[in-house]
């Protein structure tokens, strides 16, 4: 964990209610699947946001405006300085991927797949990516994943773009050795049921601190009680209790 100040250098809307922010600061020790916890003026608790990318001293996050805090974030101007805790959570284990990892992101669960995909490609793997959204106006980052060299499938619930249905409706098109997923809990459960290999799931929970001190976000697993913020947010398929 590190506590440093980042400067906002870009903040733009990329899809319906969805914003991409680029922050400049100390990105050392940030791993794929981890999150950062951002202090926002006027709010007591920090906002935990997953890491989308880190490159050249820049941290990219993508977030959905869901409440008052993220609304303020969406309106932040370039040059805003933000107090950020980085290096939070366990992150994904890239060593388990095999040659053909499958990455499955749904909505606000898409961003953490990006850094993971980039790093897997760098390791010489050939990842496939399934991105799930509600509707066409919510779709983002399809091209970004394609530019990394991944085979990308997009699903929309209403069928307005790509494959009609849920992320699991694209599973049959893909051959995979292992999978990584992040998204709303019903989607994670569907991926759990549909998947035929082992894999890793990134969970979300309301957090107090984000670094393991308050026990606010605990969950039960087959391997004992875990704190989503510190022992997670990534859990392996074999330990999950639904």
Partner 1 sequence: MVNTKVKLCGIEIDNPVIPASGTFGFGYEFAEIYDINKLGTFSFKGTTKDPRFGNPTPRIAETPMGMLNSVGLQNPGVDKVIAEELPKLAKVFNKPVMANVSGFSIDDYAYTCERIDKEAQVGWIEVNISCPNVHGGGMSFGTDAKNAAAVTKAVKAVTTKPIIIKLTPNVTDIAEIARAVESEGADGVSLINTLSGMRISLAKKKPILKNVTGGLSGPCVFPVALRCVWQVYNAVKIPIVGMGGVSSAEDVIEMMLAGATAVEVGAANLIDPYACKKIIDDFAQVMEKYHINSLEEIIGGAH
CB 23 within 8 A of CB 84: yes
Stretch of 99-107, 151-159, 182-190, 217-225 lying at the interface with partner 1 (CB under 8 A): 217-225
Binding status of residue 4 toward partner 1 by CB under 8 A: no
Write out 9-33 in H/E/C secondary structure: EEEEEEECCEEEEEEECCCCCCCCC
- 165 three-state secondary structure: coil
For the chain, how far is it from start to end, CA to CA, in angstroms? 29
Q: Which of 9, 74, 163, 219 forms a contact with partner 1 (CB under 8 A)?
A: 219
- Pick the closer one to partner 1 by CB: 17 or 218: 218
Taking the complex as a whole, how short is the minimal distance between the CB of residue 12 and partner 1, in angstroms? Answer: 26
CB 205 within 8 A of CB 217: yes
Instruction: Show the binding pattern over residues 23-42: x = contacts partner 1 (CB under 8 A), - = does not.
Output: ----------------x---
Binding status of residue 225 toward partner 1 by CB under 8 A: yes
Cα–Cα dist 202/33, whole Å: 7
User: What tokens were used for 189?
Assistant: 């459960």
Binding status of residue 184 toward partner 1 by CB under 8 A: no
Cα–Cα dist 108/172, whole Å: 23
Binding status of residue 14 toward partner 1 by CB under 8 A: no
**Contacts with partner 1: how many residues (CB under 8 A)?**
25
Residues lying near partner 1 in the complex (CB under 8 A) are found at 1, 3, 39, 43-46, 85, 205-209, 211-220, 225, 230
């Amino acid at each position: 964990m590190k506590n440093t100040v980042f400067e906002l250098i870009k903040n733009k809307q990329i899809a319906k209610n969805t914003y991409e922010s680029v922050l400049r600061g100390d990105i050392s020790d940030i791993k794929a699947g981890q999150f950062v916890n951002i202090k926002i003026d006027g709010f007591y608790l920090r906002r935990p946001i997953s890491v989308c990318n880190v490159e050249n001293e820049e941290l990219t996050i993508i977030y959905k405006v869901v409440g008052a805090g993220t609304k303020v974030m969406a309106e932040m101007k370039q040059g805003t300085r933000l107090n950020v805790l980085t290096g939070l959570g366990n992150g994904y284990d890239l060593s388990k991927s095999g040659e053909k990892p499958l990455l499955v992101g749904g909505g606000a669960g898409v961003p953490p797949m990006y850094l993971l995909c980039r790093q897997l490609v760098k390791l010489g793997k050939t990842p496939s990516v399934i991105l799930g959204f509600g509707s066409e106006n919510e779709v983002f980052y399809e091209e970004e994943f394609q530019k990394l060299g991944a085979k990308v499938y997009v699903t929309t619930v209403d069928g307005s773009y790509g494959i009609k249905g849920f992320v699991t409706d694209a599973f049959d098109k893909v051959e995979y050795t292992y999978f990584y997923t992040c998204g709303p809990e019903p989607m994670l459960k569907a991926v759990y049921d549909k998947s035929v290999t082992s894999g890793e799931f990134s969970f979300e929970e309301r957090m107090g601190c984000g670094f393991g001190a308050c026990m606010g976000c605990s969950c039960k697993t087959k391997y004992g009680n875990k704190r989503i913020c510190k022992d997670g947010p990534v859990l392996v398929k074999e330990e999950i209790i639904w």
